[in-house]
Amino acid sequence: MSPFEFHKTYWPCIKISGVDKYCVPIRPEFHERLFPEADQKLKKQFSFDFDPLPQTPGNAIRKVYICHAQKKAMAPGSLLLFYRSADSVITSVGVLEEYREADSYEALLKIAGRRSVYTSDELLEKTQGGRSAKVVNFYYAENFSSPIPLKALKSSGVLKGSPQSIMSIDENSFNRLCSDLLKEKDKEIFYN
């Protein structure tokens, strides 16, 4: 069974042996829409304001993230660790379904479909000026019990610094993340 089919069949479980792993940085405004529950956890750490969760595609399992990453290709089934850039923390994990490039607003609308948390204006901005956008269609798995801060990621050798674009995480770094930084509950979704 392919890593992607494994995840679809045994959701939220993720096959980790033989798959590529990536850290995907996300600006706060898009992180909030894609991962509303993770965002609420972060807000509760700093506030007593308990806003209701939005009813957006962010509450779905199948999601879309759109960026201008330089990465040319990523294989379906790849593990995605989502990094909220403003707070410098990894909050969530998902599995790549498809990675495509859109060179026009129309193509972007067709690829992203209703799974997008972006407004029409935001989608239009992604392809203006001759730029193409990368579309990361993925299946959400879970939000980690506690966000993993950059300081811990650096001290464990998982990251050297704050990621500026989608970046690969090698097998040894991912193993250190699992053994040193994840709570036991969070490790339960990963299968060899």
pTM for the full predicted model:
0.89
| CA–CA dist 82, 76 (Å, integer) | 16
Taking residue 71's Cβ as centre, other Cβ atoms within 10 Å add up to 15
Q: How confident is the model over 43-52, as pLDDT tens digits?
A: 655 444 544 4
Distances from the Cα of 133 to the Cα of 67, 69, 100, 147, angstroms: 6, 8, 8, 28
| CA–CA dist 183, 105 (Å, integer) | 41
The pLDDT value recorded for residue 69 is 93
- Per DSSP, the residues of 178-189 read IIIIS-HHHHTT
Closest CA to 137 of 187, 165, 102, 173: 102
First to last CA, the chain: 12
Q: How confident is the model over 69-116, as pLDDT tens digits?
A: 999 999 999 999 999 998 999 999 999 999 999 999 999 999 987 778
Mean pLDDT confidence for 12-20 = 94
User: Domains in the chain, please, with CATH?
Assistant: 21-191 (2.30.130.30)
Q: How confident is the model at residue 56 (pLDDT cuts 50, 70, 90)?
A: very low
